[in-house]
């Protein structure tokens, strides 16, 4: 499972993507993924809106995840 990070999510984690490898415990749903991010990087907890896309499709918290999914973590950005 590959996680692509955008905007401030990239700044919080410190890189533009990471992977859950074979043997890693992968999150079973979007909500679990968000919780995992919050636990590892508490700054995620501060974001009031955080869009998650699974295989290029916007996903709600209840969406279940598979090992081969590509996830995009998309916080709002304001700059202009």
Partner 1 sequence: MNIERYDRQTILKEFGMEAQLKLQAAKVLVVGAGGLGVPVLTYLNAMGVGTLGIVDNDMVSLSNLHRQVLYSETDVNKSKVVTAAQKLKEQNSETDIISLETYLTPENALRIIADYDMVIDASDNFPTRYLVNDACVILNKPFVYGALHSFEGQVSVFNFEGGPTYRCLFPEMPKADEVPNCNENGVLGIVPGIIGNFQALEAVKMITGIGEVLNGKLLLFDGLFNSFQKIRFSLNPENSKIKALQDSYDFNCEVSVNSITSDDFLQLLAENEIQLIDVRTPKEFEKNSMSFAKNIPLSQLEERQDEIIFEVPVYLVCQSGVRSKKAVNKLKEARANAELINVDGGMNEILKHAIKY
Using rule CB under 8 A, residue 75 touches partner 1: yes
Q: Return the biggest CA–CA distance within the chain.
A: 42
> Do 7 and 76 contact (CB within 8 A), yes or no?
yes
**3-class DSSP assignment, residue 73:** strand
Q: Which is nearer to partner 1, 10 or 36 (CB)?
A: 10
74 lines the binding site for partner 1 (CB under 8 A) = yes
Q: Which is nearer to partner 1, 8 or 31 (CB)?
A: 8
Q: Which residues on neighbouring strands pair with residue 59, listed in sequence order?
A: 52
Residue ranges in contact with partner 1 by CB under 8 A: 4, 6-8, 10-11, 16, 46-49, 51, 53, 56-58, 72, 74-80
């Amino acid at each position: 499972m590959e996680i692509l990070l955008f905007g401030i999510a990239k700044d919080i984690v410190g890189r533009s993507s990471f992977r859950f490898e074979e043997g890693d415990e992968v999150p079973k749903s979007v909500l679990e993924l968000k919780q995992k991010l919050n636990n590892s990087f508490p700054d995620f907890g501060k974001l009031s809106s955080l869009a998650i896309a699974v295989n290029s499709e916007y996903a709600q918290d209840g969406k279940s995840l598979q090992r081969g999914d590509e996830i995009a973590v998309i916080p709002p950005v304001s700059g202009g």
